[in-house]
Structure 1
Amino acid sequence: MNPTTDQIGVGIIGTGYIAATCHGPVVTAAAGARLAGVLSRRLDAARDFLTTLEVDAATPYDDLDAFLADPGIGLVVVASPDGLHFPQAEASLRAGKHVIVEKPMALSLADAQTLVDLAAERGLVLAVSYHLRCHAGHELLRRRILDGALGAIRYMRLAWSFPIDEANWRARSDVARWWSLSATGTHCLDLARWFGDDMDDWTRFESVLNTTRWGGRDESAVIAAQLASGASVDVLASIQFEEYTRLEFFGDRGSAFCEGTLGPEGGGTIVLNGQPLDFTPTNPFAEQLDRVLAAIDGRAAGPPADGAVGVRAVRDLLLAEPT
C-alpha cells in the first residue's frame, strides 16, 4: 500500500509470532495506517520481518532510541516478551507515541498505573491488546446477553489451552512473571468481566496452579471466582495439553456456548439458547487496530481495552499467584 497523508505511521516492537502473524499483516492492510518501522534485538530479524510482509517503505531497527526518534512513527505496537512491555511502552509514551501494548501491560501494578498516568498526562491513546473483545461473534453475543437473552448471568466457564513447552520465553523468570496465566488466562478473566459488564473487585477469588510437567510457575491454572454482580466464574488456563477453547454462559433464562472462538482468526461457532448465532468472521486484530485509530483521530472515545482495563487485568493476575 502506498502511504498517504492521512495514514499514521506504525512501528512494531518485536518480530515473534504475534507480531509476525497478527499485528504486522493488519497494519500493512489497514487503510488508515502504514508500517513505518520495526524493532528487533537483531537487525537481520527486523529486515526479514519486513521482507516477509513485503514492505519496502519501512525502516528496520535494533536500537530503541533510534526507533522512537523516527518522526514517521506515531503509533507503537509493543509485541515483545512480557517483561519488556512496561519499559518499552513507557519509553514510547515519553517519546510522544500512541501505544498498543500486548497483554499483560506490565508485571506490576505500579508499572501498569504509571503507563495509564503517563498516557493521560501526554494526551496519548494507550490500548491493551485484548483483541477478543473485537471478535464479531463475541460482540454480538455480548449485546444479546446485556439485552437479557439469558436473564441474570449465574455462571460462566471459560477454558483455553494452548501448548507451549519449556523452551518458550514465558518459562523464563527474567522476562516473564506468569506462564499460562499471561498466555491464555488473562484473556479468559478479561472476557468474564467484559461479558458480565463488571469491572469491580471480585467478591471471591481462589486459584490452584499446576506445575507438574516442567516445574514452571503456572503451567496450568484453575480459578474459581465471583463477580460483584454475583455471577460465578470458572477459568481454566493451560499450556500443558492440546489446544482447546470453550466459553459457557448460564443465566436464569438460558445459556450460550462458544467453540473455537478464542485465538486470532475471529471464527468459531456460537450457540445461543439452542440456536446458532450467525455472525460474519472478521480479523479481531484488524478491528482492534481500526478502533485504536478511531480513538487517536477522535472518532471514538477510546480503544476497545484502555489502560484502566490493563491495570485491572494485572491486578487479577497478581491475585492468581500463589500466596
Structure 2
Amino acid sequence: MKWGLIGASTIASEHMIGAIRAQSGHTVEAVLSSDAARGQDFATRNGIPHAFSNLEALLEHPGISAVYISTTNEKHVSQAMAAFAAGKHVLCEKPLALSVDDAAMMVEAAKGAGLVFATNHHLRCSGAHLAIRQMIARGRLGRVLSMRVFHAVSLPEHLRGWRIDNAAAGGGVIADITVHDADTVRFHLGEDPKTVVAQAVSSGLGRGVEDSVMSVWTMPSGIMVQSHESFTHPYAGSGIEIHGTEGSLFAQGVMTQRPTGTITMTDRDGTLQLNYDRHDLYGYGLKAFSQAIAGRGRPAADGVDGLKSLAVALAVARSAREGQAVDVDYKGY
C-alpha cells in the first residue's frame, strides 16, 4: 500500500512514518505541506520520494491508496472530504473536526464511498490499555463504580505553537488531550458519557485558549468519571484509576505515546502488579487499519469513535464556558 502524508508534522516524523513502513508492503510515497520548502525538507529528511504543496496533486499521484492527515485541526474536514472524493482511505488525527456535524459528514462520506475511515486514537492501541480493558471485561473489578483520568502534563516546547494560542485552528487542551481521554473512557467502560460538568482556565501557557480543565462525567450506567487535563503540570504524572465493587486498578504513566507505565490491582487478596505486552502503539493501529482495508475487522478507532470523542470534548468546552451541566450530543450516532 502506498501512503500520502497530508501534513509535514512532528507526529508523522516521530511515530507514523516508521509505523507505516513497519507494515509489510507499505511505503510512504508523498507528503503535503502548505510551505513548499518545508515540505521538501521534510521529504528529504524522512526519505519520502515526493513533496507537494497542492492537495489535488498529492491525491492524483499514481498508486496512493491511503492518506494520513495530521494538519491543524480546522483543516481536517476539507482534506478528508477531498481524499474520500478521490477514493482514498483515511487515517485522521484527532479531533476529526471542530464540530460534530462536520465529523458526521466525514463519517457519511466514507461510508458512501465504501472507504475505511479511522481516527488515530493511539491510547486504545497501547498494551497497557488493552490489558486494563480485558481486566474490566473479565469482571476482575466487579461492578465498576468510578473512574479517574489524570492527564495533566507539561506540553513540550516544540509542540506548543498553535496549540496554545490559536482557537481558530482548534488549539487548547480540550481539543488536544480531553478528546483522547474521552476515547479512553469509552474504550474501557463500553458506553458513552451522557452529561458533563467542567471548569477550564488559562494557568500560564494558554493565550486565548484554555490550558487546564477539570470535568466530571455521568455515564448511562451511573458510573462516575473525573477527568483532569493540562499543558502546565511538569511533575503531576498521568494515568487512570478504575474502582469497582471487587477491586481497584491503578495505572500510572500509561497516557503516553510510548509503551510505558505500570498497572497494579488491589483487592481482598492484596496488591498485584500486572504485566502487559509493550508493543508499538502506532504499529498496532496501522496493522488494524490495513486489515480493515483488506476486509478483516475494523480499525482500532473508526470514524464514529472519533466523532464521539469529539462530542464529549465539545460538551466539556461548552460546560466550562457556560458554567452549567451539558448533555453530550452525538447527533444520533
Fold in common (TM above 0.5): yes
Q: Contact (CA 8 Å) 1:292, 1:304: kept in 2 or not? A: yes
User: Which of 281, 286, 289 is matched with 2:286 structurally?
Assistant: 289
Name 2:87's counterpart in structure 1.
96
Task: Classify the secondary structure of the residue corresponding to 2:169.
Answer: coil
Q: Contact (CA 8 Å) 1:162, 1:184: kept in 2 or not? A: no
User: Which of 174, 180, 193 is matched with 2:168 structurally?
Assistant: 174
Q: Contact (CA 8 Å) 1:159, 1:188: kept in 2 or not? A: no
Following superposition, the deviation at residue 125 of structure 1 comes to 0.4
Following superposition, the deviation at residue 188 of structure 1 comes to 1.1
Task: Classify the secondary structure of the residue corresponding to 1:15.
Answer: coil
Following superposition, the deviation at residue 67 of structure 1 comes to 0.7
Following superposition, the deviation at residue 212 of structure 1 comes to 3.7
Name 2:329's counterpart in structure 1.
none
Following superposition, the deviation at residue 155 of structure 1 comes to 0.8
Question: Is the counterpart of residue 263 in structure 1 residue 260 in structure 2?
Answer: no
Segments of structure 2 that go 5 or more residues without pairing to the other structure are 323-333
Q: So what's the TM-score if we normalise by structure 1? A: 0.92
Alignment of 1:195-214 (within 5 A): 195-199=188-192, 201-202=193-194, 204-213=195-204, 214=206
User: Which of 295, 304, 307 is matched with 1:308 structurally?
Assistant: 304
Following superposition, the deviation at residue 163 of structure 1 comes to 2.5
Name 1:124's counterpart in structure 2.
115
1:225-258 Cα offsets, whole Å, 9 max, x none, are 1111111000001112216311111001101111
Q: So what's the TM-score if we normalise by structure 2? A: 0.89
1:248-306 Cα offsets, whole Å, 9 max, x none, are 11001101111111221122111123211111211111100010000001121x11111
Q: Contact (CA 8 Å) 2:125, 2:281: kept in 1 or not? A: yes
Equivalent position amino acid for 1:269 in 2: T
1:135-176 Cα offsets, whole Å, 9 max, x none, are 012112201111101011111111112323795212212311
Task: Classify the secondary structure of the residue corresponding to 1:36.
Answer: strand
Name 2:38's counterpart in structure 1.
45
Query: How far apart, in 1, do the equivalents of 2:210 and 2:182 lie?
Result: 15
User: What is the aligned-residue identity percentage?
Assistant: 28
Task: Classify the secondary structure of the residue corresponding to 1:150.
Answer: coil
Query: How far apart, in 1, do the equivalents of 2:285 and 2:25 lie?
Result: 13
Query: How far apart, in 2, do the equivalents of 1:134 and 1:9 lie?
Result: 23
Task: Classify the secondary structure of the residue corresponding to 1:140.
Answer: helix
Equivalent position amino acid for 2:5 in 1: I
Task: Classify the secondary structure of the residue corresponding to 2:16.
Answer: helix
Query: How far apart, in 1, do the equivalents of 2:19 and 2:45 lie?
Result: 14
Query: How far apart, in 2, do the equivalents of 1:215 and 1:49 lie?
Result: 29
Moved more, 17-26 or 74-83: 17-26
Query: How far apart, in 2, do the equivalents of 1:186 and 1:123 lie?
Result: 26
User: Which of 17, 22, 26 is matched with 1:24 structurally?
Assistant: 17
RMSD (Å), alpha carbons? 1.6
Task: Classify the secondary structure of the residue corresponding to 1:35.
Answer: strand
Q: Contact (CA 8 Å) 2:203, 2:232: kept in 1 or not? A: no
Following superposition, the deviation at residue 215 of structure 1 comes to 4.3
1:12-38 Cα offsets, whole Å, 9 max, x none, are 111222111111221122214111111
Q: Contact (CA 8 Å) 1:152, 1:253: kept in 2 or not? A: yes
Equivalent position amino acid for 2:23 in 1: A
Q: Contact (CA 8 Å) 2:166, 2:209: kept in 1 or not? A: no
Query: How far apart, in 2, do the equivalents of 1:231 and 1:71 lie?
Result: 50
> Relative to structure 1, is the Cα distance of residues 265 and 69 closer, same or farther in structure 2, using a 3 angstrom cutoff?
same
